Amino acid sequence: MDRSGPAELLEIAIEVARDAAATAYRMRVEGVSVAATKSTVTDVVTAADRAVERQVVDALRRLRPGDAVLGEEYGVGEAGPVGPSGVRWIVDPIDGTVNYLYGIPHCAVSLAAEVDGEVVAGVVCNVNTGEEWTATAGGGAWRDGQRLRCSTETDLGQALVATGFGYEPARRAHQARVVAELIPHVRDIRRLGAAALDLCLAAEGRVDVYYEKGLAAWDQAAGALVATEAGLLVAGLGGLPAGPDLVIAAPPALFKPLHDRLADLDASGGP
Ligand code: IPD
Ligand code: CA
Ligand code: CA
Ligand code: CA
């Protein structure tokens, strides 16, 4: 049996991510505080971010010893950037750490599996509600057994737009200027605080579109697959793939209008 097929990898991802979400939930109930700051004073990490990533890495080592793992808190695991199996797991142990810290029930464990550099399976588990979004490449996007389809909105002026901000002050200032220019041209803006969940909400039309500059692989790997499998186009500016410069996720009819507006506003520029 091929143990590296998308369905098998998804099964493992779901098992590991569910346990991780349970740990995050339990640790939040017990009480959390800031353990350290990272890139800036507003970029915080809690003991739970670290414990959850450790748990995920340990579980994957046990279940899939030949695989590589990339995580937000510990980077590349001992197996190195690529394991002998060609599979690499990408984990954001808690996406939405600031929400987690403040007890806002909108944060998630995000876990994706890449085979030879392509994301083929992903799961995003909301730590508080237990909602679970999953996708496999070519196998559709699902939430709790329901197939997902993105919004059918065709008018950017009627679109609910999710976005987020990085932690670095000059970058945030640029991102705020982009939002200020964009908001008169859309229905409204949401800054919900967890990129993986933003992509999953777009996958089921709970927001129409999403964009953000500055995402890392762990922020978007699972969510972008869920969004793509739900029918959104996920890409960067000017035909580039989605990446740190910009991620745009939009239904086909809204992609070009949003793309062109963001290009005019230099959304991928600035610091
Ligand atoms: C952050 C969240 C946030 C986004 C930031 C991310 P973290 O991830 O996804 O919504 O705007 O760009 O860094 O630090 O909470 O895992
Ligand atoms: Ca994140
Ligand atoms: Ca995180
Ligand atoms: Ca973080």
pLDDT tens sequence across 82-122 = 678 899 999 999 999 999 999 999 999 999 999 988 999 99
Q: Residue 80: its pLDDT value, please? A: 63
How many whole angstroms from 173 Cα to the centroid of ligand 2? Answer: 20
Q: Residue 81: its pLDDT value, please? A: 67
Pocket of ligand 1 (CB under 6 A): 72, 92, 95-97, 164-166, 193-195, 212, 214-215, 219
The Cα 258–Cα 247 span in angstroms is 11
The question of ipTM being above 0.90 is answered as yes
Question: Could you give the C-alpha distances from 205 to 22, 105, 123, 198, 267, in angstroms and in order?
Answer: 27, 20, 18, 10, 23
Q: Which ligand is nearest to the CA of 48?
A: 3
Which of 28, 34, 95 is the pocket-test mutation for ligand 1 (most atoms within 8 Å of CB)?
95
E strands, the chain, where?
34-37, 44-46, 68-71, 75-76, 87-95, 108-115, 118-126, 132-136, 140-143, 146-147, 160-163, 188-190, 209-212, 233-235, 247-250
Q: What is the mean pLDDT of the chain?
A: 95
The Cα 111–Cα 259 span in angstroms is 27
Q: Residue 1: its pLDDT value, please? A: 37
92 is in an annotated binding site: yes
The Cα 216–Cα 75 span in angstroms is 11
The Cα 218–Cα 165 span in angstroms is 16
Report the pLDDT averaged over residues 150-171. Answer: 97
5-58 residue pLDDT tens: 999 999 999 999 999 999 999 999 999 888 888 888 988 899 999 999 999 999
245 is in an annotated binding site: no
How many whole angstroms from 178 Cα to the centroid of ligand 2? Answer: 21
Q: Is 47 left (phi over 0), alpha (psi -120 to 50) or beta?
A: alpha
The Cα 252–Cα 238 span in angstroms is 15
Task: Provide the token pair at 23.
Answer: 């740990």
pLDDT band at residue 78 using 50, 70 and 90 as cut-offs: low
How many whole angstroms from 227 Cα to the centroid of ligand 1? Answer: 17
How many whole angstroms from 129 Cα to the centroid of ligand 2? Answer: 18
Q: Whose C-alpha lies nearest to ligand 1, atom 5?
A: 166
Whether 176 shows a pLDDT value over 90: the answer reads yes
Domains with residue ranges and CATH for the chain: 6-147 (3.30.540.10), 156-264 (3.40.190.80)
Q: Whose C-alpha lies nearest to ligand 1, atom 16?
A: 95
What is the number of the ligand 1 atom nearest to the C-alpha of 215? 12
What is the number of the ligand 1 atom nearest to the C-alpha of 163? 11
Task: Provide the token pair at 265.
Answer: 């506003």
